[in-house]
Amino acid sequence: MWKMLLSVALLCLFAASALGQDQTVDCVAAQGISFNNTELFSTWYEVARNPAAASNCIEVSTKLSQDNTTLSLTVAHSATLSSNYMNVNEVASLALTNQTNGTNLVFSVNGQNQSAIFVKLLEQKKLDNGKSFLIGCGQTTPGNANTTYGFFLQNITASATADELYSLNQNASLKYSFFNATSNITSVNQSGCFRNSADRLVPAFSALMALFYMLLKAF
């Protein structure tokens, strides 16, 4: 009798284990959230990705266009992992709706359209210390599950600690198949990032020229 009870207990244990493993979902099947949320219209920094990102200093800026129905996205980052120079700027626009199934985005770099990618926002997490994170996923080739990646964005500043990223990754791995609980998620370097100094000098130069023009007009 005890052997039968032991066998039943083992079967239940294996069944429960299998059920737990099957509860994670892929990027396409995961329930998303809408892009149409004013809390998301801000500057976000990608702090971690699985698998690892191919560049550093990834900054995502989103703002509502003047028509109030289109979201403008600008993604700035370095060209390679060996550089912190944010010399790549990608821009895209998205018609805002309340759909939560993700969307295909076509970014433009220097006026040249890039291949479409799939992006879905999954959750917004607010920690007790006030830090706000976005959890999302995407596919570099829409429809190809082998190109799936998961990411974490942090609002306003890139100050996530290793413990915070570990906790976010562990919790996400219980729901989503593209996060791995058995390995540390790869952080995105946000230290020492810089842009072209000319970008910062343009406003000051313009103001100086305007002042010079006014002085000329005065004489």
CATH number at residue 75: 2.40.128.20
Query: Which residue in this structure is represented by tokens 């976005």?
Result: 134
Q: In the predicted model, what is the mean pLDDT of the chain?
A: 85
The C-alpha atoms of residue 110 and residue 40 are separated, in whole angstroms, by 25
For residue 209, being part of any structural domain is answered with no
The C-alpha atoms of residue 76 and residue 67 are separated, in whole angstroms, by 24
Alpha-carbon distance values, 45 to 109, 151, 156, 162 (Å): 19, 10, 7, 15
Q: Sort 122 into a burial class: Cβ within 10 Å, 0-12 / 13-18 / 19+.
A: buried
Token duo for residue 149: 């990646």
Question: pLDDT by residue (tens digit) across 72-113?
Answer: 999 999 999 999 999 999 999 999 999 999 999 999 999 999
For residue 159, being part of any structural domain is answered with yes
The mean pLDDT value for 186-194 works out to 96
pTM score over 0.85: no
Range of the domain at 68: 38-200
For residue 20, being part of any structural domain is answered with no
Helix, coil or strand: residue 161: coil
For residue 170, being part of any structural domain is answered with yes
For residue 42, being part of any structural domain is answered with yes
Question: pLDDT by residue (tens digit) across 154-179?
Answer: 998 999 999 999 999 999 999 999 99
**Counted domains in the chain:** 1
For residue 157, being part of any structural domain is answered with yes
For residue 212, being part of any structural domain is answered with no
pLDDT of residue 198: 57
Give DSSP secondary structure letters for 94-147: EE--S--S-EEE--EETTEEPPPEEEEEEEEEE-TTS-EEEEEEEESSTT-GGG
For residue 135, being part of any structural domain is answered with yes
Q: Bigger pLDDT: 18 or 140?
A: 140
